[in-house]
Structure 1
Amino acid sequence: MALTAHGPDGARPPWSAAWELLLPAASAPARSRGRSLAAALREAVRSGRLTAGTRLPSSRELAADLGVSRGLVTEVYEQLTAEGYLRSGRGSGTWVGDAARAAAPAVRDRAPRGGHARVDFLPGVPDLSLFPRSAWAAAHRQVLAELPHPMLGYPDPRGLPRLRTVLAELLSRRRGVVAEPERVIVCSGVAQATTLLALVLRARGHTAVGVEDPGSPEHGALLAAAGITPTGIPVDDQGVDVGALRERRVRAVVTTPAHQFPTGIAYSARRRAELLDWARAVDGLVVEDDYDGDFRYDRAPVGALQGLDPERVAYTGSVSKSLAPGLRLGWLLVPDGLTEEVVERKRVMDLGNPALDQELLAHFVERGDYDRQLRRCQRAYRERRDTLVAALHERFPGVRVSGIAAGLHVIAGLPARWGPQATFLARAAAAGVAVRPLTDHRVPAPGAPDDTGRCGAPATGSAEDEVHLVLGYAHLSPARIAEGVRILADAVQELDHARVDSTSR
């Protein structure tokens, strides 16, 4: 029987469709011919070109057709039978087995992407075009040329000593953190830092942890993934409500004191003191997410809470806003009593961050490139913030803009005449402008009233009619910001006109 032949009834043999896959294998160099033939047959089975139950030609017939030795074909058949791709029985021939399944037709990309909006005011996104490619590439070349061979082995799970030393100096200087190198743990961004802490807290018996309300949805999701229930704690214009912390009977809380997300407030000195008093009283822990603490526009950045009590505050941050989130580089500073447990969790989780990336970041900071990058971003983001605030006041008379002193987003509170919010959002989406309401960041707290006035943007009308938006601006050029606000105003002006007409009747 030949691969090009037809069956007794004139039909082509069922395996003949895979013929072209075997021809290159048969002409491969002698030393790799067996591997090539096995790989070709595996692919034919995986792709479904050789379906389960298909009878293959005998080893003698296939060897004659391909011009290879019978022994080579026999070895390939035996190998694929052992792997489960083929099956055979004494005297019954060789058949395609049913264990293999065709692979997915394409590789799916699950990276978060923006939608198809004309302008997307997504908060918390930096301008990735500001990434310092030339300086980063130069640092990469130098580090790769100088890195000793042993440094390419498994790193210390805490992070390379060089990077931990550099980060300790940087964070002490810029953020007022108590940051000895032994406190620093290099991790894959704030997400991993939060996960590590959550796993340790869960192992210590914590079943619930407080999260700010409104706050970042990611905090609650990360806690829940570690088996901890996120409990919403109200935020007012001073910071997280310490009285509510006591009522909820939690002993740990995740916070953003330097620039609360999303309201944009900085915790007051009094509230900071009250929060630390609470942590000491309950033998608790405050997790400080300093997600954009370096970006302050009216004066020097507010210092980190951790500097006031490093034994009650775990501090975390990253280069996601200052360089790029795709680098997956961050840091976690933990109280002495938690260090060993966190480091062991980190070791088991991933054996440490890539050594080359750590050396590269250390070199980048040592040379002053990181400070230069921060100054460059601050200039660009201040201009974009000013553009957004001016455009909002021009296009939406009566708007209240808050949270503008720092960060990468603002809160826009529109008068009731621009509502109701559901209609406003629908009109915006139809016009191709993506905006997120403040309500998207609310966390249901058991027994807590759902009053929108507690989140730093006082209500002026009914909750149904008001519109409170979280508007990110860092990733948009000034021209795009102005265009987006114009399109948004044009899309919703009919709401204002309709309300005026209805009240004048």
Structure 2
Amino acid sequence: MAQNWTTSDLALALALPPGRRPGEQLQTALRDAVRQGVLDDGDALPSTRELAAALGVARGTVVHVYEQLGAEGYLVARPGGRTRVSSRAVPPGGTPPSPPAAAPAGADLRPGISDLRRFPADDWAWAYARAARGAGSHDLDYGDGLGHPAAREAIAGHLRRIRAASTDADHVVLCQGFAQGFALVLPALAARGARVLAVEDPGDRGVDAAAAAAGMELAPIPVDAHGIRTDLLDRAGAHAVLVTPAHQSPTGVVLSASRRVELVEWAGRSGGWIIEDDYDSEFRYDRQPIGAVQGLAPDRVVLIGSASKTHAPGVRVAWMAIPGELIDDVAARRIAADRGGPVIDQLAFAALLQSGRHDRHVRTMRGVYSARRAVVLQTLDRISPGLTLTGLVAGFHGVLRLPSGVREEGVVAAATDASLRIAGLAAFTRHRRDLPPALVLGFGNIDDEAVVEAILRLGDVIAAATPRR
């Protein structure tokens, strides 16, 4: 029979394994208690605040453990009610559930990965149910390559409201991630004579293959403290340029107002195209997110955004605000590529936008990342005041410049040996040889407790690699 566990009873019943972080201890103990029948189907657990006080751990640690075990199927939480042991946790016969697939080993300090533990599963379950119930038979046929009209309308409104974009549903094309959108747009530009694509250096090397497939030559353009060097676009003979103006990837600098104007003027003067990768602009900490460049020149800019950073990379919903000249071409290429996108996914995301659930999740995660950013900076200061992290006005990564004399590739290799998943700045460069050794440090997909340990471990790696004077 299900019972309501008191805080003291549960604290005594849990066998916390020694030698681990408190979060890992509690997670293992609760999971074992369910498997061994100490906690039975439907048993109600104490609140996170009560259990945290009883065990002497941070409340956030207990919240994370409850969320993790909920995702694994051991616990279930209902709004306004207590967290309970899931009726599916131990099937009849007492056979414990299969353990979840093991995550890749090591603390995740890679840039560009959002906090996958905080994926709003309940919101998405609600949105999918709403989309499936509301979709008519006519909605479920193959589409026209643009995406469902209702979803395009919702996303166009979102872009006008949040990104100051100048667009409407007729100029929005839905796709399944930035990579697909980029791969659809480039051939359309090539068909209009574009042969040279300017790219930021350092910048995302993942676009190189798509450019080659479209028959385009890459022209790396240096990035400085004000963003991409727009004065070099003419000299490079660029016909199109890929930029990350809101939070340059990976340096984190924001394209200055004067450079934005110069970029738009270049496009108007040369007939060039701007592809704006709007990958994490909603996570701005010092002010409201800066409006998209697309709002300044909607007839020359392709704005591409996605749910990969706000929700998770596994959510394959993305969008492009496209000049009218390109719409039919891109839509036809989408049909040829995959017969159109997943309608239910598009309608579910539209439901999140229209209900306010998306905005609520972004606000929550903006607070989470801002607080974690502070933890990272405090920990770095503990290690050495000389270690500074730059590019932190937005997003969930920064650039950590290494001390003089330290070899970047050596630190990356040693960090890997120390079970740290991390990237060096050199992995983002093409022709640049003037950049100092640095790491691109992500703090999205790691909790506050783990990130402290990971930074301390990284500090040991850097200290071991630093030449003694």
- TM-score band by shorter chain is 0.7 to 0.9
* 1:230, distance to aligned residue in structure 2 (A): 2.1
Deviations 1:328-353 (A, max 9, x none): 11000111222221122122222211
The structure 1 residue matched to 2:232, chosen from 236, 244, 247, is 244
Give the structure 2 partner of residue 492 of structure 1: 462
Identify the range of structure 1 (235-244 vs 161-170) with the bigger mean alpha-carbon deviation.
235-244
**What is the distance in 2 between the residues matched to 1:378 and 1:271?**
27
* 2:193 match: secondary structure: coil
* 1:326 match: secondary structure: coil
1:323 is the counterpart of 2:311 = yes
Question: Is the contact made by 1:276 and 1:309 (CA closer than 8 Å) also made in structure 2?
Answer: yes
Deviations 1:308-327 (A, max 9, x none): 11111110100011112212
**What is the distance in 2 between the residues matched to 1:183 and 1:485?**
44
Give the structure 1 partner of residue 373 of structure 2: 385
1:155 is the counterpart of 2:139 = no
**What is the distance in 2 between the residues matched to 1:339 and 1:179?**
12
Aligned 1:51-450 pairs, distance under 5 A: 115-116=104-105, 118-416=106-404, 419-444=406-431, 450=433
* 1:443, distance to aligned residue in structure 2 (A): 1.5
The structure 1 residue matched to 2:451, chosen from 468, 481, 487, is 481
Tell me the TM-score normalised to structure 2 length. 0.76
Deviations 1:89-141 (A, max 9, x none): xxxxxxxxxxxxxxxxxxxxxxxx9753x313110001122111112112222
Give the structure 2 partner of residue 64 of structure 1: none
* 2:242 match: secondary structure: strand
CA distance 1:347–1:394, shift in 2 (3 Å): same
CA distance 1:153–1:234, shift in 2 (3 Å): same
* 1:210 match: secondary structure: strand
**What is the distance in 2 between the residues matched to 1:276 and 1:114?**
44
Identify the range of structure 1 (336-345 vs 255-264) with the bigger mean alpha-carbon deviation.
336-345
Return the letter of the residue paired with 1:440. Answer: A
* 1:363, distance to aligned residue in structure 2 (A): 1.5
Question: Is the contact made by 2:144 and 2:331 (CA closer than 8 Å) also made in structure 1?
Answer: no
* 1:218 match: secondary structure: helix
* 1:493, distance to aligned residue in structure 2 (A): 2.2
Question: Is the contact made by 1:235 and 1:241 (CA closer than 8 Å) also made in structure 2?
Answer: yes
**What is the distance in 2 between the residues matched to 1:420 and 1:144?**
54
Unaligned runs of 5+ in 2: 1-101
* 1:364, distance to aligned residue in structure 2 (A): 1.8
* 1:320 match: secondary structure: coil
CA distance 1:141–1:114, shift in 2 (3 Å): closer
Question: Is the contact made by 2:196 and 2:219 (CA closer than 8 Å) also made in structure 1?
Answer: yes
**What is the distance in 2 between the residues matched to 1:240 and 1:355?**
37
**What is the distance in 2 between the residues matched to 1:351 and 1:218?**
25
Return the letter of the residue paired with 1:251. Answer: H
Return the letter of the residue paired with 1:494. Answer: A
Deviations 1:132-152 (A, max 9, x none): 111211222232223212211
Question: Is the contact made by 1:410 and 1:471 (CA closer than 8 Å) also made in structure 2?
Answer: yes
- Report sequence identity in percent: 36
Return the letter of the residue paired with 1:432. Answer: S
**What is the distance in 2 between the residues matched to 1:451 and 1:492?**
21
CA distance 1:263–1:492, shift in 2 (3 Å): closer
Tell me the TM-score normalised to structure 1 length. 0.70
Question: Is the contact made by 2:409 and 2:424 (CA closer than 8 Å) also made in structure 1?
Answer: no
* 1:327 match: secondary structure: coil
Which has the higher Rg, Structure 1 or Structure 2? 1
Give the structure 1 partner of residue 48 of structure 2: none
* 2:426 match: secondary structure: helix
* 1:225, distance to aligned residue in structure 2 (A): 2.7
Unaligned runs of 5+ in 1: 1-112, 453-462
**What is the distance in 1 between the residues matched to 2:157 and 2:402?**
43
**What is the distance in 2 between the residues matched to 1:173 and 1:150?**
30
Deviations 1:209-230 (A, max 9, x none): 1111000111223212333222
**What is the distance in 1 between the residues matched to 2:131 and 2:330?**
29
Return the letter of the residue paired with 1:137. Answer: A
Question: Is the contact made by 1:398 and 1:414 (CA closer than 8 Å) also made in structure 2?
Answer: no
